[in-house]
Structure 1
Amino acid sequence: MTTKMKTKKIFRSFEIITEFRNIAHSDKNIFLNIPKIASLFFEYQFLSYYFGGVPKWRVMLRKLISKKRIVPNYVMTGPIKSGSSDLVSHLLMHPNIMSPLAKEIDSLNAKQWQSYFPTIKQKQALEAKLDSKVSCGYLEPALHDIQLINKLYDLNPNSKIVITLRDPIDRAFSQWKWEAFLTGKDYINNPSFNNFDDYIKQSISLFPSVPMQTVCGFPVMQTGIYYQAVKLWMDKFGKDNVLVLDIADYFKNRKPVLKEIQTFLDLPDFDIQEYQKIANENPLKVSPAQAETNALLSEFYRPYNKQLFDLIGKQYQWK
């Protein structure tokens, strides 16, 4: 498979999902979109890589074909809305990286993960072709999931861990924007999602007793506190086996960060070409946060950020 073909396969799932969402948010009569929906649905059934939501028949078929499959030897994780989708997708362009069937596996049952990964025979064939070792990763943005940490350790205690973090103020705004997008046209009439500034004020007033209302399932304030979660990964897999990155550095200049990850994962050096789009980018257009709200968030996260910086031995230029 050429690099261009592999790139198209990696990003196509994101593009189809975005098209579906745009149709759902469109004012156009749904019946006028039926031919487009049918075409996208049919194409979606036969993708080689998914963002998530794999057709069930594909998973069942893979179970029947082979049970002799590899286990991931690296993990890429972080909090939701940390920009990990784009980084993960670009790394998958490396010829020595085999992609799982999906970036996000909708199960905590490790036995069910097996069918999402390449077969041992496929891995051996690619290694013979490249005359070098290949890797495959578990790519779930689930930084705070203790159960997942333990299950991944049981699956492969020698895994290397790449954690991408984002300025918690920017991450909070991105999550609210995502929550608003997921509610569809109704977000304007939903008091929890029609105004970021009010949403954050209420979230802070309720913290830590009551998690703020969420559509995507992650409490907005708690998800921006990284210290304890990063420490859990380090304690489990060893500090030297955990690479912590600020996603802002990646979006400022992708190539140096991709090369740093390649070195960390012992991959052959490869010049990964940048895709012209950002994977899983939210198309919703909204007004920026007020300075007062950013100041509230900055004060809230300051002590937690300090704990994180002390742990990882470096300080990011967050707000």
Structure 2
Amino acid sequence: MARKQMVLSNKEELKSDLELAKYFKAFELSTEFRRIKFSDKSLFHHLPRLIKAGIEYQFLSYYFGSVPKWRVLARKLLSAKRIAPDYVMTGPSKSGSSDLVSHLLLHPNILHPLAKELRLYANKDWRLYYPTVKEKKNLERNIVGPARCGYLEPTLSNLKVLERLHDVNPDCKVIITLRDPVARAYSYWKWEIFVGGSRLKQNKKMAYFQDYSKYIERALDLFPSIKMETVCGPQVLESGIYYKAVEQWINRFGRKNVLVLDVAEYFQDRQPVLEKIQKFLGIPVISIPEYGKKTNENPIKLPPPDPKTKSKLAKFYQPYNKKLFKLIGFEFDW
């Protein structure tokens, strides 16, 4: 895709398609790897595709999380001075941020890190994942407005990340994408099942994972005294309590530097939300092409949540949502 003009002709539409694909390919390959892991068939059955996908994965320009070690080492050997993020896009896990983050990368003023989720809080070499100072200067010679590059990981409640980012750049713009916590809990359960794969299926002590209502019933029973068992890491209920984490970001970076969004509005109509973000980041407002498929969407199909469980969760989250809405000064349709 032409960095300045987006789509102007059939030839440039082809470029746009290729540009779109490169920002979404890592998610598709990661999902495919997990799908194979989730499959009941042997790895030998999937071997041809694994080899092909594995080779393709080595040479991507943008990764979901895990980056081939040789790519990071190559950057380290270059010893070039690298930039730090000047904006943050974060939220809870399974809030739909992957799609929003990846579409914003299509903007000509946006530079992308090597990976969306680079574990800044645990990665001493995190700056290697960012573009060089020279790359940023070269881009700014050919665009109108500033060049931006973001920290894109869903670590809303991780105070180590918050403080590290503030130390690096106290003037960071912070975009927080939230999702109705009732819908997010169901999506998170599905992700637990998908990531856990056969290992979770075979664990009789965690049989309640196979039934969403039992899973939520156990989480509600244990809250807040005991942590719920998890495959993915975050706690299913606590991850949907947003107000205190949002408050920390506002207190640290200033209210004018924090934009809070409901991801449901984005999936209903991407462009108005993308335009709001562009204005917030101080970059030219353009129409960003849409990839079509939802990024990082769970491919497995499971029974929908029953009304009783949804009602229980809605009642559980109501007081916390009220605190959030009071903090940000407006309400979402949750």
- Give the TM-score range, shorter chain: over 0.9
Q: How does 1:212-251 map to 2 (within 5 A)?
A: 212-251=228-267
The CA distance in 1 between the partners of 2:179 and 2:148, in whole Å, is: 26
1:268 maps to: 284
- Which position in structure 1 is the counterpart of 2:151? 138
Query: Could you tell me how far 1:30 is from its partner in structure 2?
Result: 2.3
Residue 176, structure 1, aligned to residue 189, structure 2 = yes
- C-alpha deviation, 1:47, in angstroms: 0.6
- The 5 A counterparts of 1:1-319 are 1=1, 2-109=15-122, 111-189=124-202, 190-318=206-334
Give the SS at the match of 1:71. Answer: coil
2:261 alignment partner, SS class: strand
Distance 1:3 1:98 in 2: 16
Deviation of residue 106 (structure 1)? Answer: 2.7
Distance 2:208 2:172 in 1: 40
Q: CA deviation at 1:183?
A: 1.3
Gaps of 5+ in 1: none
Q: For the Cα contact (< 8 Å) 1:179–1:214, is it kept in 2?
A: yes
Q: Deviations over 1:160-184 (max 9, x none)?
A: 0000000000010011110011111
List per-residue Cα deviations over 1:208-247 (Å, max 9, x = no partner): 0111111110011111000000000000000110000000
Give the AA of the match of 2:142. K
C-alpha displacement at 1:17, in angstroms? 1.1
The question of whether the paired residues in 2 share the 8 Å contact of 1:67 and 1:114 is answered with no
Q: 2:177·2:260 contact (CA, 8 Å) conserved in 1? A: yes
Q: Secondary structure at the match of 1:191?
A: helix
Amino acid at match of 1:216: C
Distance in 2 (CA, whole Å) between partners of 1:55 and 1:29 is 25
The letter for the 2-side match of 1:161 is V
How far off its partner does 1:5 sit?
Answer: 2.6
Q: Aligned equivalents of 2:108 and 2:16: distance in 1?
A: 8
TM-score, normalised relative to structure 1 = 0.96
SS in 1 for 2:175: strand
Task: Show the counterpart of 2:12.
Answer: none
Deviations 1:41-65 (A, max 9, x none): 1110111000000111111111111
- The letter for the 2-side match of 1:299 is K
1:297–1:195: structure 2 CA closer, same or farther, 3 Å change rule? same
- In the superposition, the TM-score normalised over structure 2's length comes to 0.92
TM-fit CA distance, 1:186: 4.6
Query: For 2:314, what is the secondary structure of its paired residue?
Result: helix
Shift of the alpha carbon at 1:111? 4.5
Contact kept in structure 2, 1:181 and 1:187, CA below 8 Å? no
Unpaired runs of at least 5, structure 2: 2-14
CA contact (8 A) 1:53 1:106 kept: no
Q: Which position in structure 1 is the counterpart of 2:10?
A: none
Counterpart for residue 8 of structure 2:
none
CA contact (8 A) 1:192 1:213 kept: no
Give, in angstroms, the shift of residue 109 of structure 1.
Answer: 4.7
Aligned-CA RMSD value = 1.3
Q: Give 1:26 shift.
A: 2.9
- In structure 2, how many angstroms separate the alpha carbons of the residues matched to 1:213 and 1:194? 13
Distance in 1 of aligned mates of 2:160 and 2:119:
14
Q: 1:133 deviation in Å? A: 1.7
Calculate percent identity across the aligned residue pairs: 52
Helix, strand or coil at the partner of 2:28: helix
Which residue type is aligned with residue 235 of structure 1?
Answer: N
